[in-house]
Chain A
Amino acid sequence: MALRELSSLEKYLGLKKPNKYSTQGDKKVPVLQNNNGPPLVGLGTIASHLVKEAKRPNLLGDSAESRAVVQQWLEYRLTKLDGCTKEDTKAILKDLNLYLQDKVYMAGNQFTLADTFMYFGIHPIIVDLSVQEKEQYVNVARWFDHIQRCPGVRHHLPPLVVLRNRIYTSKHH
């Protein structure tokens, strides 16, 4: 999974030569052999590296604050979304829904790496949501739909249907 995400990111960034990755351990943590130094380990670390290589530092945030926010959500993706149980998903969706209530992107008003990787990470959860649940988490659904339509982000994942008109009005639930 992680390798496909990195390859999608490379395409998005327009990196000419695809990197070669290996994995380590049972969790298949991605490893990037780096010519200029020791190998880089970990999805977030490599993704941040690629962004810098592509000279798109804004994707990591354009201020100290937004950089911290981006890193926070990258970490959230790896520690909370990955391997979450069915029970966890409800709480995660609820929290994200509240968080995204007044935001366009994960880090506010700007598209960042946090959107890309939260999108990749939450895709398997959204796949299983019914139309009704998607409406329940309307802000997540809106954000998700927005990100999957951003040119070049989706790549290896199938598009999911998010209805824009609500069919379950909230007062019935």
Chain B
Amino acid sequence: MKLFVSEGNPHCLKVLAAVEVSGVQCDVQYVNHEERVVPFLSRPALPALLLPSGLHLFSSNAICRYLFEVSGKDSSELCNQWLEWEATDLQPALLQALHLAVVQGKGSEVSKVLQGPLNYLEQSLSKGNTPYLTGEAVSVADVVLWAALHPVLSDASLALGERASIKAWFDRGAVMHSCQSAAQKVLQGNGLQGMKSYMQRQPAPPSSQRRDSQPCNSNPAESEESERAVSAEEMETAALTWSKGLNTCPMATSRQHPILPQEGKRNILLTSALPYVNNVPHLGNIIGCVLSTDVFSRYGRMRGWNMLFISGTDEYGTATENKAREEGLTPQQICDKYHVIHSNIYKWFQIDFDFFGRTTTEKQTEIAQNIFWRIHKHGFLVEDTVEQLRCEKCQRFLADRFVEGICPHCSYPEARGDQCDKCGKLINAVELREPQCKVCKETPSIRSSKHLFLDLPKLEGQLEQWLDKSTSTGDWTANAKQITRSWLRDGLKPRCITRDLRWGTPVPHPDFKEKVFYVWFDAPIGYLSITANYTDQWEKWWKNPHQVELYNFMAKDNVPFHSVVFPCSLLGAQDNYTLVNHLIATEYLNYEDTKFSKSRGVGVFGDMAKDTGIPSDVWRFYLLYVRPEGQDSAFSWADMALKNNSELLNNLGNFINRAGMFVTKFFEGCVPAMELQQEDKRLLALVGWELQQYIQLLDKVKIRDSLRHILNISRHGNQYIQLNEPWKKIKGGDAERQRAGTVTGVSVNIACLLSVMLLPYMPTVSQTIRDQFNAPQSCVDTMLQGTGTFVCCLSAGHRIGTVSPLFQKLEVDQIEALKKEFGGQQVFDVYDA
């Protein structure tokens, strides 16, 4: 048996006294106040007794009782009663008293605080007429109370007043040598001051104890309320907002292309990482870039920001050439084919791009070459010779994916020229053992070739200066900051920007004819060229850092290209380019708990989503619900069904549908009059608070987290309906019918708010709700203003349309069939670069 105690802790005084009085053999160990001895308690709790069974006791009274029982002294009922009184009545008062005396230096106020319990003890002792609390002999109750009171009773300066019976009892305890010696051990002879360091670590007790002897008028119903407390002020504010009504002058939500930055507006340029064209995008792609960007873009427009959302397919590079060979097409044909596939998939997922372009355009060549020449002119390019594999039969250099061989690190037989899929290490193609040309299987020879490198070390100073500013003023996800920091910590090296390939943007320099730009240099320039294909005035977005905020959305593997490499290209070009202000990177999405593996050619999905029969909005909802925000997450069919059934159907859909049905069934389709009572105002305040959280989170692009607050609102709504039972009240008297009206009216207005909050996530459902309610479009413009304004937008007398269910149940067998059809083995790459 082991007893853990700490010095200066008044509770330890009790147990040490009990050890001495009971004479139980026990190994006593002194530890620090903050030591967490009891494994299941999150806050340190001392004293603690480790029992022979391995269990811990953490209540000092239970420990004392146990020590006494082991020594053969069972505690009586009276004893129980004193121990309970000590814990529930005396301790709170003592804690407050000690805090006053030791921490706040207000010893003079102690006597008032302890008055109640001390008087009670005095009365009991004098009435009982026995030397000890429970009779003629010392019991555990005496030891516990004596030890608890020792610090205050032995300090004369507290002037607690004369209480004869307590004094006699206390002195009787004091003669017991064991109690004195325990006090000496714990307080070190320093009296109250011996507890200072312990007391300073305790949370300050509430100034007026609920359990003290002062009369209080607290309403018991109130104190049992354990929901988030809503103040009267919050309720009144919410009711006031509610009564404001809709914005009289709605903002222009219709977009006029081309969208250009406007003076006096928040101008936001949104890019989502360009999906690589050589494959059908999968769920990982979709959530990692385009879907996340779409949510933010829709949200931002409702907030009244001036937004341009740009994306497109990334089409150059060796992967395209390989795919073309596989399918017997030219690279251009492959790009044309897959660009359409991508566009259609995103259309089905309702990704509302302002422009979805591609990188194989004349603008791309023009802008990339311009940036290249500017970097060249400013001396940020260096030349070097690179040893490369060349296949004489095919008459070409074998860049990364054109060659395979044995991995020099792990001996995996199918390692590629740039990276080994088995061990993940980066490989320099010439290091491959037994290299083979992927096309003709011939063994290539090593030849040297001259290349251009971006001099990143020379740009590092400028980059760091800009990064400091951007990461401290903008919203960068934690992973984006961390990945960027680790790149800088490792130091930057010159990076090759040219390749011996055909399918790419040609390098304009005469010494490097027949070479193209490396995709990492070329692809991000796609953002600029795609904008240029959207509007001739693209420079108003891209060379306007003072008016424009740039958001880049991507999965985490793409971070270094957006935070280090591409900014260096733009900084080196010295042309006042708009650089990224907010970098939003997701973690990885796995499939059915299969581990993420990169670029194995599996994970086709986007085009199949619509074949499942599950609506696009439900796909969006689930992908956003499991958005890998802050940590990796997994797509699972079973989970998707459960989220659909529990959150969409039973929570959200149920609430909205009931609210509408009540209006239809009980009030002939017209919103009834509403007389707000306290309870309604309280709900308005709760809903308003959730709306505020939603806005705060979405402003910071916490897309998954803010979705939770939408679901909280419908949960509040369901509880409210359940509690008020309008379907019963409607059959009652006038007052009850009126109450049913108010509850129905408030509910249907909350449903209307939900439709607005849902818009970024589930655009179709959002519109359907407003159509069903005939809700004015202006509610979309009103609710998300400022910190959130939940107004009554369907006022009394408003006629709603036909209400019908919004969601359908996903059955187990349906989901099992889908799971089987799509297999549990597929893996989604979040980004296939």
Collect the chain B residues with CB atoms within 8 Å of residue A128's CB: 226-227
Q: Is the interface of A mostly helix, strand, loop or mixed?
A: helix
Choose from B39, B61, B77, B216 the contact partner of A71 (Cβ within 8 Å). B61
The closest CB in chain B to the CB of A44 belongs to B84
* Contact, CB under 8 Å: B226 / A86: yes
* Contact, CB under 8 Å: A68 / B69: yes
Collect the chain B residues with CB atoms within 8 Å of residue A83's CB: 210-211, 223
* Contact, CB under 8 Å: A72 / B62: yes
* Contact, CB under 8 Å: A68 / B80: no
Tell me how many residues of A have a C-beta within 8 Å of chain B.
48
CB of B412 within 8 A of chain A? no
Contact with A along B638-660 (1 / 0, CB 8 A): 01001100100000000000000
* Contact, CB under 8 Å: A71 / B62: yes
The closest CB in chain A to the CB of B212 belongs to A26
* Contact, CB under 8 Å: A167 / B639: yes
Collect the chain B residues with CB atoms within 8 Å of residue A78's CB: 84, 87-88
Q: Which residues of B in the span 47-69 have a Cβ within 8 Å of any Cβ on A?
A: 51-53, 55, 57-59, 61-63, 65-66, 69
* Contact, CB under 8 Å: B57 / A68: yes
CB of B448 within 8 A of chain A? no
Contact with B along A86-101 (1 / 0, CB 8 A): 1001010011001101
Shortest Cβ gap from B234 to chain A (Å): 15
Collect the chain A residues with CB atoms within 8 Å of residue B57's CB: 68-69, 72
Choose from B81, B91, B211 the contact partner of A41 (Cβ within 8 Å). B81
A98 to B636 CA separation, bound complex (whole angstroms): 28
Shortest Cβ gap from B474 to chain A (Å): 27
CB of A171 within 8 A of chain B? yes
A41 to B55 CA separation, bound complex (whole angstroms): 30
When A64-B70, A98-B39 are in contact, do A69 and B62 touch as well, CB less than 8 Å?
yes
* Contact, CB under 8 Å: B88 / A79: yes
CB of B228 within 8 A of chain A? yes
* Contact, CB under 8 Å: A167 / B642: yes
Q: Which of B52, B66, B215 has the largest count of A CB atoms less than 10 A from its CB?
A: B66
Collect the chain B residues with CB atoms within 8 Å of residue A172's CB: 625-626, 633-634
Collect the chain A residues with CB atoms within 8 Å of residue B53's CB: 65
Shortest Cβ gap from A99 to chain B (Å): 4
CB of A22 within 8 A of chain B? no
A130 to B70 CA separation, bound complex (whole angstroms): 44
A108 to B77 CA separation, bound complex (whole angstroms): 24
CB of B265 within 8 A of chain A? no
A165 to B643 CA separation, bound complex (whole angstroms): 12
* Contact, CB under 8 Å: B43 / A41: no
Choose from A27, A69, A71, A74 the contact partner of B55 (Cβ within 8 Å). A69
A124 to B223 CA separation, bound complex (whole angstroms): 11
Collect the chain B residues with CB atoms within 8 Å of residue A165's CB: 642
Collect the chain A residues with CB atoms within 8 Å of residue B78's CB: 38
A124 to B91 CA separation, bound complex (whole angstroms): 24
A65 to B53 CA separation, bound complex (whole angstroms): 8
A41 to B633 CA separation, bound complex (whole angstroms): 54
CB of B85 within 8 A of chain A? yes
Shortest Cβ gap from B17 to chain A (Å): 17
* Contact, CB under 8 Å: A68 / B65: yes
* Contact, CB under 8 Å: A75 / B59: yes
Shortest Cβ gap from A77 to chain B (Å): 10
CB of B229 within 8 A of chain A? yes
Collect the chain B residues with CB atoms within 8 Å of residue A86's CB: 226-229
Collect the chain B residues with CB atoms within 8 Å of residue A89's CB: 226
CB of A76 within 8 A of chain B? yes
* Contact, CB under 8 Å: B80 / A48: yes
CB of B224 within 8 A of chain A? yes
Choose from B58, B91, B634, B715 the contact partner of A171 (Cβ within 8 Å). B634
Q: Which residues of B in the span 77-98 have a Cβ within 8 Å of any Cβ on A?
A: 77-78, 80-81, 83-85, 87-88, 91
A1 to B210 CA separation, bound complex (whole angstroms): 16
Collect the chain A residues with CB atoms within 8 Å of residue B213's CB: 25
A108 to B65 CA separation, bound complex (whole angstroms): 19
When A89-B226, A91-B43, A171-B634 are in contact, do A45 and B80 touch as well, CB less than 8 Å?
yes
* Contact, CB under 8 Å: B41 / A125: no
* Contact, CB under 8 Å: B87 / A64: no
* Contact, CB under 8 Å: B80 / A44: yes
Collect the chain B residues with CB atoms within 8 Å of residue A79's CB: 87-88, 91
* Contact, CB under 8 Å: B59 / A72: yes
Contact with A along B801-831 (1 / 0, CB 8 A): 0000000000000000000000000000000
Collect the chain B residues with CB atoms within 8 Å of residue A43's CB: 84
A98 to B56 CA separation, bound complex (whole angstroms): 13
A76 to B57 CA separation, bound complex (whole angstroms): 11
Number of A-B contacts (CB under 8 A): 119
Collect the chain B residues with CB atoms within 8 Å of residue A42's CB: 80-81, 84-85, 88
The closest CB in chain A to the CB of B116 belongs to A25
* Contact, CB under 8 Å: A45 / B84: yes
* Contact, CB under 8 Å: A49 / B223: no
* Contact, CB under 8 Å: B62 / A68: yes
Shortest Cβ gap from B751 to chain A (Å): 19
* Contact, CB under 8 Å: A75 / B84: yes
Q: Which residues of B in the span 226-256 have a Cβ within 8 Å of any Cβ on A?
A: 226-229
Choose from B41, B87, B215 the contact partner of A75 (Cβ within 8 Å). B87
Shortest Cβ gap from B784 to chain A (Å): 24
* Contact, CB under 8 Å: A131 / B646: yes
Collect the chain A residues with CB atoms within 8 Å of residue B84's CB: 41-45, 74-75, 78
Q: Which of B55, B228, B642 has the largest count of A CB atoms less than 10 A from its CB?
A: B55
The closest CB in chain A to the CB of B86 belongs to A75
* Contact, CB under 8 Å: A45 / B69: no
Q: Which residues of A in the span 106-160 have a Cβ within 8 Å of any Cβ on B?
A: 108, 124-125, 128, 130-131
Q: Which residues of B in the span 195-233 have a Cβ within 8 Å of any Cβ on A?
A: 210-211, 213, 215-216, 223-224, 226-229
A94 to B631 CA separation, bound complex (whole angstroms): 22
A45 to B51 CA separation, bound complex (whole angstroms): 24
Collect the chain B residues with CB atoms within 8 Å of residue A11's CB: none
* Contact, CB under 8 Å: B43 / A64: no
* Contact, CB under 8 Å: B42 / A94: yes
The closest CB in chain B to the CB of A92 belongs to B42
Choose from B61, B63, B77, B633 the contact partner of A45 (Cβ within 8 Å). B77
Shortest Cβ gap from A38 to chain B (Å): 8
A84 to B646 CA separation, bound complex (whole angstroms): 30
Shortest Cβ gap from B15 to chain A (Å): 12
The closest CB in chain B to the CB of A34 belongs to B77
A84 to B633 CA separation, bound complex (whole angstroms): 34
Collect the chain B residues with CB atoms within 8 Å of residue A48's CB: 77, 80
* Contact, CB under 8 Å: A95 / B639: no
CB of A169 within 8 A of chain B? yes
Shortest Cβ gap from B690 to chain A (Å): 13
A89 to B42 CA separation, bound complex (whole angstroms): 12
Shortest Cβ gap from B720 to chain A (Å): 14
* Contact, CB under 8 Å: B51 / A65: yes
* Contact, CB under 8 Å: B228 / A171: no
A130 to B715 CA separation, bound complex (whole angstroms): 8
A117 to B422 CA separation, bound complex (whole angstroms): 57
Choose from B55, B85, B210, B643 the contact partner of A65 (Cβ within 8 Å). B55
A92 to B791 CA separation, bound complex (whole angstroms): 37
Collect the chain A residues with CB atoms within 8 Å of residue B227's CB: 86, 128
Q: Which residues of B in the span 492-528 have a Cβ within 8 Å of any Cβ on A?
A: none
* Contact, CB under 8 Å: A124 / B642: no
A72 to B226 CA separation, bound complex (whole angstroms): 24
Chain A to chain B contacts (Cβ below 8 Å), 7 pairs = A41-B84, A75-B87, A78-B87, A79-B87, A95-B41, A124-B224, A169-B636
User: Which 10 pairs show the lowest CB-CB distances between chains A and B?
Assistant: A72-B62, A68-B66, A98-B40, A42-B84, A167-B642, A99-B40, A45-B81, A72-B59, A64-B69, A45-B80
If A72-B57, A86-B228, A167-B639 are given as contacts, then 8 extra A-B residue pairs at C-beta distance below 8 Å, sorted by A number, are: A1-B224, A65-B51, A65-B53, A67-B66, A72-B61, A79-B91, A86-B229, A169-B639
